[in-house]
Structure 1
Amino acid sequence: MSERIKKELALYKLREIEIDDMKLKVEELKIGEQLGAMNYEEKVQSSMNCKNNDYVMNEIETLEKRIRFNEIANKRIDNALKRLDIDEAEIVRRVFIEKKSITLTAQELFKSRKSIKKSIDRAFEKLKLA
C-alpha cells in the first residue's frame, strides 16, 4: 500500500508538467485551427479541410480529457494531504513530491532526520487508513 502511495506522490509533479504541456498543445491546435478557419459551408462539406478539422477537434477533446484526468488525480493527492497535520503534509510534499532528501528537508525545517522519518511514518499510516 505505501508503495502505491509513494508512486502517486512521485507522479504529482510529472502530472503538473504534463498538464501544462497538454494545455499548450490545445492552445496551439486552437490557434492553428483559427488561422486555417474556413466558412461554415467549407466546414460541413466532405473535404480534406473538413477531415483535418475533425482530426483537430478530436485531438483537442482527447487532450482536454487527459488534462482533466491528471487534474483529478492531483486533486485527490491534495485532498489526501489535507488529512495530515500541517507539518506532516509539508514533509511529505517536500520529500515525495519535490524529491528533496530527508537530510535537506530536516535542515530546511530545523528538525532532526529522526523526527522527519517519524513524521513520514505517521503520515503514511494516516494515508493508508484513508
Structure 2
Amino acid sequence: MPSPRPSLTLTLLQARETAMRFFRPQLNLHDLTEQQWRVIRILRQQGELENHQLARLACILKPSMSGVLARLQRDGLVGRRRMLEDQRRVLVSLTEQGEQCFASMSLEMEKNYQRIQQQMGEEKLATLLELLRELRGVKP
C-alpha cells in the first residue's frame, strides 16, 4: 500500500501557526485577538464594509463576526451604522481610535514580517505569497 501524500491542509495549518508566533506577542500587548486584528487590518485597507463582506474577507463565520464586532465596538475601535437606503444592512468602519490602534501596531507588525523574510529570503516569501494567492483561486 503506498504511503499517503503529505497533507496540504495540515501543512498549511502548521505554517500558519509558525507565522502567528511572530505576531501573537504584539496582539497580546494590545489585548487583541487574531480575528480582531484581521478585522482592523481589512477595514484599514478596504475602508467601510458591510458585515457580510468583512466576514468573507476576514475568513470569519458570520455568527462569530457578530461577537468580534461587538467587542471591537465596545472597545471603541469600530463603529457600525445602518445604510439609509436599506436599514437591514450595516456598514462597519474604523473609528479614530481604531486608526490609532492600527498605526501604533504597524511598525512592530512590519518588523515581524521582516524577521520572517530574513529567515526565508525575499524571493521565497514572495513566491510563497503568490502560490497561496493561486491556491485561493482553485475551485473544488
TM-score by length of 2: 0.29
Name the structure with the higher strand share: 2
Q: Which has the larger radius of gyration?
A: 1
TM-score by length of 1: 0.30
Q: Per chain length, whose mean CA-contact separation is higher, i.e. which structure has more relative contact order (CA < 8 Å, sep 6+)?
A: 1
Name the structure with the higher helix share: 1
